[in-house]
Structure formats: structure tokens, C-alpha cells
A and B are shown apart, each in its own frame.
Chain A
Amino acid sequence: MTRHVVASVADIPPGGRKIVTVKGREIGIFRIGDDFHGLINRCPHQGAPLCLGEIVSRLVAPSPGDYRLTRPGEMIRCPWHCWEFDIRTGQSLCDPHSVQARAFDVAVEDGKTLVEGPFVAESVQVTVEEAYVVVTL
């Protein structure tokens, strides 16, 4: 397992996302508040670039007509067939027990810690003053 620096925290505002490539895999890095999450950029249904879809809330209705918007900005909707997935876990909304998009371990680390290594940062310049998004893979 290697730590890959994929972005500085400032690169991705809350509610934002960035598609990065780590070990040949495209991964979507999402920021929800101050938490960062990583999902593989491939829908388990028909292989669409999942992480390019719309970031939406989870809409629930305990009964017809009783709509409640929950978990704002925590779901990703596939750009092709609109299957929705939990950004935090990759779990599918349409079939949570058997469908999951692969999620990756994403953390925020200080530049100060990172420069002590080891880490890989091919496209991100790491300085001690900033904080970085790190994918372990």
C-alpha cells in the first residue's frame, strides 16, 4: 500500500470533486463538508464514468407525496442510467445489498507530515504549509 497525494485540500471546495488517476485507476475524490471520500470512476452497472454524474441528496418518501430531502450532497447519480450511490461508502441506493461501487481510503494530511514520507505525489507540489488529500492504495 502506498500513500498517493492527489490534491491539496484547497483544490476541492466543499461540495466539489476532482477526478484523479492512481495506479492507472480513475478515482473521484469528493469533499462533503471537511470530509474527503474516494470512489472508483466506473459504475458497476454498465461501466459509465460514475464520478462525473450529478451530486444530489437522498430523497425519501415514507408515503406517497411525503417527500423528504435527506443527506444533502451525499449521493452521486450515474451520468448514464441515473443509479445513485452513497458517496461515503459506494453503496447503491437501488440495490444496497448486492451493488457497490468501490470506495477508497482517503485522508487529509499536513504537508509537514507528508514531507517526512514516504508518499507519491506525481502531479501535486507538496509544501509544509498546506494540507493534502491522500489516497492509500
Chain B
Amino acid sequence: MNVTVLDRSPDRSAQSHMGFIDCDVHPYVKGPNDFDPFLSKRWLEHKQTIGGRGRQGLAKTSMYPRMSPGNGMRMDAWTDTGGHPGSDLPKMREQLLDLFDVAYGLLAPLVGGGPGERNVEFGSAMATAVNEWQLAHWCDPDPRLLGAIQINIEHTEAAIAEIEKRAGDRRFAQVNIPPRGLEPLGRRRYWPILQACAANGFPVSLHLGGTSGHASTGGGWPSFYHEEHPSYVQTMQTLVTSLVCEGVFEQIPNLKVVLVEGGFAWLPSLCWRLDKHWKRLKAEVPHLKRSPSEYVHEHIWVTTQPIEEPERPQDMLSTLEWIGPDKVMFSTDYPHWDQDDPRYAFKIPLPDDWKRKIYRDNAKALYNL
């Protein structure tokens, strides 16, 4: 049985978390009309009279509703006036940005529905609106917050146009792509978009969540949210495997991919398995010039939350070593219910140089901050 890991001996030496870079911060809307000023009249009317067409069977809720109010929010993040967690910049400053003197917060806006919209023209318009909304409501009022470009990857031309439009705008750090798509991300039809991300200097961030309409596990739909939560790991494994095996990193050598909120302890064992079979199945994938793990080490970054809590806390050090402390970046997932607190997330002291890398330097280098 696993023992419970507590914060009794957390790593608080020298307050090393202070001034960290948070690689997963969720801004939320104040109301349903927040995006309206950023929609053309044509799409505003569409939104008001027709509305969204998601890829799931339920409307106005998620496939696996969470237990805390607001569909899985940290309960102390509601504002005094009942404002939704993540919707209020002063509250975000109080609970995150100012509390920890956060150097940069990378936004992951899971709002607007653009990336998963079936009507891809409307989805692209919503994605653009959410990009403008990030700038107006978050990045401009607080330059510590960096946007993530939203796109709908089923509309290649619009997606590329949006990426190119934002190129050179330092308020955006990366391009967000939902990890659950219609097909695995490494498929050839997504290459032009991935190419545009790399060509314009944007890492691709894959933040878990959402639904593609496919069952969330390879074995069908789970019954419980407790099952759904680890199924996100399967999604991440599928993406890494697809990107590697399809030869995406051979085709686009400067592509950088960040896996957000998928944890990371599973990555080494996936690499071991991929490497083992690559030796035997090379003839099937002759385009792979190097071992799968080499592509992973070179092209993939991971964020920490929800951090794994191994039975023997010191095993975390081995895990980090296998992935490479250069590839791990701290994230809180504020204000979601399963967020990590930078003071207590690691249950063992990290070597000083690892701390610097994980809390700050890796993100600084990746995003050119």
C-alpha cells in the first residue's frame, strides 16, 4: 500500500520557489458575454442564435463533472462577490502572482470552446476572440501573464493564419492544442500547423482535458472521474508516441512540445518501451533515424502538476533524473481543485541546480523570457 505523503518535511529551504515561473494558470470569464466584443457581427449572431457544437453528448457540463462547485475549482478562489475562480485578476494576484512573486504565469484558457468546436469556422472565430480576450483582460493589465494562442486544428488555413498573425507578439508564449483530437497529433494532416508553430518560434502546449468525442480510454468510457483522471495520462502517451512514430521530429526538427497537466512519472517507462520495440520494428518506421527516447529528450518538456507522490519520496529524484531536470517545469494549475502549491508539491529536497531549473530556468530558456 502507498503511504500518504505529507508536507511535514517540505522543501522550503531558502524559499527557492519564490519568483518561480508558473507554467499552467487558468483564467476564466466573468460572464458568458466576455468574448462578444471580439467577435464579428456575423459570428456574434451565430453565437447568440445557434451557439456552440461541441464534440460531446452533454451540453452545459463536462463529461465527468467534478465534485467541487464551479466544476472542480479550488473553493477558496471564489471572490467575495461570488465571482468564478480565475475570473478576477486581483484575486489571482492575491492567491498566486503576488503571494509567490511569480515571474511569469503561462495562461491556459480552457474557455470559449473554439478548439473543440465542430463548426470549424465558428471555432476559429471563437479561438481568435479568446486570444484577444487574453490580451485585453490578462496580458495587458498584468504583463507577467503570457497568453497561449488558441486555434482550431481542424481548420488548417485559419489556424496557420492565427499563428502567423501572433508571430513576434511577445505577449503570447505558445500555441495551445487540445490533446484529445479527432486523430493522433502526429498525423500528416496536422503537420502544416505544427510547422507553422515551429517556424514562428512558438512551442506547442498540450494541456489535458476536454473530449474529442472518442471514448477517453482505449478500453471505452470509464464510470468515474477517478478513472477519467488517469486516462489523461493515456492521452499524453498516445500523443508522444504518435509524434515520435510518425516522424514529426524528423520532419520539423525545431518543434518543441510541452505536456501540461499530464504528470510525468510515466514518461521514462514509455521511452523504455518505445526504444525496445524500435530495435525490433525499425523496418516499419525507417524514417526514425534515432531512438524514440532521443526525440523525446530533445523535443518534449513536461510540467509538474499534478505531481506524482511516490511511496518512497526519494524516488522522485530518480524520476526527474530519467526525464532530465532540464525538461521539467513547475506548474500550479491555479485555481483548479487539484492544483499544487509550490511550497509543498515536492516532498523531498531537490538539488539546488535542479530547483533553479525546474522553478525558473527551464521555462525561461524555452520561452525566451
Contacts and interface: CB of A to CB of B under 8 A. Distances in A.
Given A79-B76, A82-B67, A46 B341 contact: yes
Contacts of B339: 80
A79 B339 CA distance: 11
Interface string B311-330: 00000000000000000000
A44 B6 contact: yes
Contact of B4 (A77, A82, A99): A99
Interface residues of B, number: 18
Contacts of B251: none
Interface in B328-354: 337-341, 343-345
B68 interface: yes
A81 B75 contact: no
Contacts of B343: 46-47
A18 to B, nearest CB: 16
Contacts of A80: 74-76, 337-339
B75 A46 contact: no
B76 A48 contact: yes
Given A80-B339, A81-B338, A46 B68 contact: no
Contact of B75 (A53, A94, A98): A53
Given A46-B345, A80-B337, A82-B337, A94 B76 contact: no
Contact of A52 (B7, B75, B337): B75
A54 interface: yes
**A contact face: mostly helix, strand, loop, or mixed:** loop
Interface in A69-126: 77, 79-82, 92, 94-95, 98-99
B59 interface: no
Contact of A81 (B3, B76, B337): B337
Most-contacted residue by chain A among B4, B7, B337, B345 (CB, 10 A): B4
B346 to A, nearest CB: 11
Contacts of A77: 67
A46 B344 contact: yes
A54 B72 CA distance: 13
Interface string A36-79: 00000000111111001110000000000000000000000101
A21 to B, nearest CB: 16
Interface in B1-28: 3-4, 6-8
Nearest to A44: B6
Contacts of A44: 6-8
A80 B345 CA distance: 13
A50 to B, nearest CB: 10
Contacts of A99: 4, 6
Contacts of B345: 46
A87 to B, nearest CB: 16
B4 A46 contact: no
Nearest to A53: B75
A85 to B, nearest CB: 13
Interface string B41-73: 000000000000000000000000001100000
B68 A47 contact: no
Interface string A125-137: 0000000000000
A80 B306 CA distance: 12
Contacts of A82: 67-68, 337
A94 B7 contact: no
Contacts of A48: 74, 76, 341
Contacts of A81: 337-338
A77 B6 CA distance: 17
10 tightest Cβ-Cβ pairs between the two chains A and B: A79-B75, A95-B4, A46-B344, A46-B341, A79-B76, A52-B76, A49-B76, A80-B74, A99-B4, A44-B6
Given A47-B341, A53-B75, A81-B338, 12 more contacts: A44-B8, A45-B7, A46-B343, A46-B344, A48-B74, A48-B76, A49-B76, A52-B75, A54-B75, A79-B76, A80-B337, A82-B68
18 contacts: A44-B8, A46-B7, A46-B343, A46-B345, A47-B341, A48-B76, A48-B341, A49-B76, A52-B75, A54-B75, A77-B67, A79-B75, A80-B76, A80-B337, A81-B337, A92-B4, A95-B4, A98-B3
